[in-house]
Chains A and B, each alone.
Chain A
Amino acid sequence: MAACVLALVACKKESGDPTPSSEGVVGIWELASVTTKASVGDVQVSVYVDFTNGGNFTLYQKIGEGRYTKFTGTYTLTSDSKLAGSYGGGSTWGPYDAAVSGETLTLASAGGKEVDTYKKISAIPENVLQNLY
């Protein structure tokens, strides 16, 4: 899986562009599973994230009952497939080892203890957008 992202970045380097690429993760993703655990405690987690070409992201999450919370921020994907970013409020996240395989994005934490898998979707569902805090 990681090879796809690495190959993509490598092509960019061969063309002489030294800047990190974000192409591999661009798109809208839905959290499909948290592979190290069957569930997150007793809480239902619903996460959608939209990585844009310009290095921005929008994240919608609902953890447990209630509505979705929207977060925005920026991200970078380095040539060695490290995905990291920061929220608009300033707090940072990552880096994760990012790997794209077909319609699946895998984000693994350092050491691989946490591995989240996302499935690519075409748009943020309307019921999410209509159910924001």
Chain B
Amino acid sequence: MKTKFILLSFALAALALSCQRPAELEAPQPELVSNPETKLVKLGDEYAPSSFMVKFQTVPSADDLAACYQDGVLSVEPVFHSVKGKEELEHRFGLDRWYEVTLEEGQDIDRSILGLAALDQVQVAEYNCIPQKASDGIAYPVPEVFATKGTVDGSHNDPMLKDQWHYDNQGSKAYSPTAVKGADVNVKDVWKNLTCGDRDIIVAVVDEAVCYSNPDLAANMWVNEGEIPGNGIDDDGNGFVDDIYGYNFVDNNANINWNNADDSGHGTHCAGTIAAVSNNNKGVAGLAGGSGNNDGCRIMSCQIFSGKRGGSTSKAIKYAADNGASVISCSYGFTSSFASDNAFYRYSSAEIDAIHYFEASKNNPVLNGNIAIFAAGNENHNYAHYPGAFVDIISVSAFGPDFLPTYYTNYGPGCNIAAPGGEAYHFASKDKYQLSMVLSTLPKDIAGSDYGYMQGTSMACPHVSGVVALALSYAKQLGKTFTVQEFKEIILSSTDDIDQRIASTAEKTYAYGHSPLSLAPYYHQMGTGAIDAWRLMMHIEGKPSLTAQIGKDQWIDLQETFGSSSVSLTYLGVDIPMSTIEALGLQKISGESQEKYPCTPEGECYGYVQFGRLHIYPTKIGSGKLTVKAVGGGDHVGGGNNLPGGMELDREISIIARDVPGGNGIGGWL
């Protein structure tokens, strides 16, 4: 048996193991046992008192179902609505073997579930457990800011974008006294030059309801065109009546609602991070919220929380799969401590079956399936919560505006990647301490504003979901295709190094009233690093990305681009477009180099190559492309009347300038 520490000690190790899985996922095969108690699955401490689920060994016969009607059993119905055309997929993942058992009022659920688990034909009996939000659930509303000009270098004009440090962190001490430049998802140059989203990419927010009437979300809500609102008929035959923006899996009706007592705006906040309408001169921006031309990714609301009540995560995930979602953003987890993947699905919970079904459903032209993203959890545990910890699911830990792990984030085995989650910082003025959290949308009904701050791995998770939505949009634009496994590997390798900063910082000061946090335990435990949107897009293009550090004259080794002979190649020059010079704030190089190595039509020099190293001096965090010209096979280009010569190699590469030392591509003189 593989323990979690073997499976998940390092994210890359997890990746390597994932690579060994077959491209077509198969439902896990549980171990058969005879003791009914060992057939019970309980993912959390809280569960529905009068219903549970059973999974049969095979698709049940009428006799199998009849046998379930023991004392106190009111009904036995399929958990999942079967969709025409997807029966084979449903069967492959065992969804057609799951049944929900509803009890008469006053029944002892523990006695009833054990009674059914004792049946030979029942493989698993699972409590309907209530998941936990990966956030403290406290929102800090702020009044809407109205402005007149664009903010992030003119790419988007959303007036509150200047406070969304998690997209573009310029190191302003207004967010946090310890903020550092580049502690963000590096998205601004993606918006400017590559993509802002695509209507065909739908992200399902499996969470509290998304406030679909929020003025900064409404235009990017997924709308079920096949359904006529409020007529009480399942017009499109998808198994759900009047589902327009998604479905309420707590009350099992189409009434998506976010204003119950104890609702926090959690789902609306996550949705805004993913795809609040961008560049609409209003409120905040979303990562994949479009360019202001009705071209953002869309949000589907799969409501699994209603106040303190919870609904079926597995039904919600299947709904997302069957209704077009390419990504599920799941900022929740379960409280039970599982020691390994096998312990988690030893008997295969319905949720894992549903996730695998989701990943195998094809809802976009880019992948042969879909991507599930989960939060790692907020208990400061040295392992991720399930289901995010599961080996082939991406689990997101959180860093703050100081580019260090947040005080609450789970870390270690099961955590695959890190993203901004926000973190309260103690300012002299207490009313400012939320500014270092994540700013997004909220339901005005309960928050009093359409906007506000929250913190948690719940907030980190939608950052990865939004960046993945952008990546799918860009891949679609380029006509690229990948398998789900390939795409996951690309996501997890599109990161900036976070460990060097962790290693060089013994402890950090953060929220009000807390002792400094020792950082040693987090070293190499935050997954593969901090998600970098630009690097992900470059991976999709197939271009190498090299990392530079701002404020330094530096030589970047080109060995990864031109191979081991890079130092001895003859270089003809570097073409640097003005967009890159501006994005990176490249300092002009004067003197002899300007004459010998011009890189603009005007004869100016902003970088050149010698000895296989690119010499540049970036002054701004940002990303851009340039083209290095070299000769392969000789010291001049052949052809015509020339002596035999080499072939000209024009390699377009991307440069990512950050304010954090280290990163792949940065090296010294050797």
Contacts and interface: CB of A to CB of B under 8 A. Distances in A.
B512 to A, nearest CB: 32
A93 B668 CA distance: 9
Interface string B628-670: 0000000000000000000000000000000001111111111
A109 B568 contact: yes
B71 interface: no
Contacts, number: 97
Contacts of B617: 64
Contacts of A71: 667-668
Interface string B561-599: 000110110000000000000000000011111001100
A96 B665 CA distance: 19
Interface stretch (A1-9, A42-50, A119-127): A42-50
Contact of B557 (A34, A91, A114): A91
A91 B554 contact: no
B564 A63 contact: no
Contacts of A92: 559
B114 to A, nearest CB: 53
Nearest to B503: A88
Closest 4 pairs between A and B when the two form their complex, measured CB to CB: A64-B553, A71-B668, A113-B568, A42-B591
Contacts of B661: 69, 133
30 contacts: A40-B611, A41-B592, A41-B596, A41-B608, A41-B615, A43-B553, A47-B669, A49-B669, A57-B670, A59-B669, A61-B669, A66-B553, A69-B552, A71-B667, A88-B500, A89-B500, A91-B559, A91-B664, A91-B666, A91-B667, A93-B667, A93-B670, A94-B670, A95-B564, A96-B670, A107-B670, A110-B564, A111-B565, A113-B567, A114-B612
B667 A110 contact: no
A37 B617 CA distance: 22
A98 to B, nearest CB: 11
Given A89-B662, A109-B568, A110-B568, A66 B669 contact: no
Nearest to B617: A64
Interface residues of A, number: 38
Contacts of A90: 664
Contacts of A66: 552-553
Contacts of A45: 669
B497 interface: yes
Nearest to B565: A110
B224 interface: no
B344 interface: no
B469 to A, nearest CB: 29
A95 B568 CA distance: 12
Contacts of A43: 553, 593, 615
A61 B615 CA distance: 14
Interface in A21-73: 31, 34, 37, 40-43, 45, 47, 49, 57, 59, 61, 63-66, 69, 71
A92 B554 CA distance: 16
B305 to A, nearest CB: 41
Contact of A49 (B500, B567, B670): B670
Nearest to A86: B667
Given A41-B608, A110-B568, A114-B611, A61 B500 contact: no
* Interface-central residue, A47, A49, A89, A133, by most chain B CB under 10 Å: A89
Contacts of B568: 109-114
Contacts of B669: 31, 45, 47, 49, 59, 61, 63
A71 B565 CA distance: 23
Contacts of B567: 109-110, 113-114
Nearest to B546: A91
Given A41-B589, A89-B663, A110-B568, 20 more contacts: A40-B611, A41-B597, A49-B670, A63-B554, A69-B661, A69-B668, A71-B668, A85-B670, A87-B667, A89-B497, A91-B667, A93-B557, A93-B559, A93-B668, A96-B670, A107-B670, A110-B567, A114-B567, A114-B568, A114-B611
Contacts of A111: 565, 568
Contacts of A95: 564
Q: Interface size bucket, B side?
A: 35 or more
A37 B592 CA distance: 14
Q: Which of B590, B612, B662 has most A Cβ within 10 Å? A: B662
A41 to B, nearest CB: 5
B140 interface: no
Contacts of A109: 567-568, 611-612
Nearest to A113: B568
A61 B668 contact: yes
A111 B591 CA distance: 30
A98 B555 CA distance: 22
Contacts of B564: 95, 110
Contacts of B597: 41
Nearest to A83: B670
A65 B156 CA distance: 36
A69 B667 CA distance: 10
Interface in B70-107: none
A34 B610 CA distance: 12
Nearest to A49: B670
B664 A89 contact: yes
Contact of B593 (A34, A41, A89): A41
B448 to A, nearest CB: 46
B560 interface: yes
A85 to B, nearest CB: 7
A42 B590 CA distance: 8
Contact of A59 (B555, B565, B592, B668): B668
Contacts of B666: 87, 89, 91
A51 to B, nearest CB: 10
B619 to A, nearest CB: 12
Given A110-B568, A113-B567, A114-B567, A41 B664 contact: no
Contacts of B612: 109, 114
A39 B552 CA distance: 20
A107 B669 CA distance: 12
Interface centre among B567, B592, B612, B669 (most CB of A within 10 A): B669
Interface in B600-623: 608, 610-612, 615, 617
A95 B559 CA distance: 11
Interface string B434-462: 00000000000000000000000000000
Contacts of B667: 71, 87, 89, 91, 93
A40 B610 contact: yes
Contacts of B670: 49, 57, 59, 85, 93-94, 96, 107
B560 A91 contact: yes
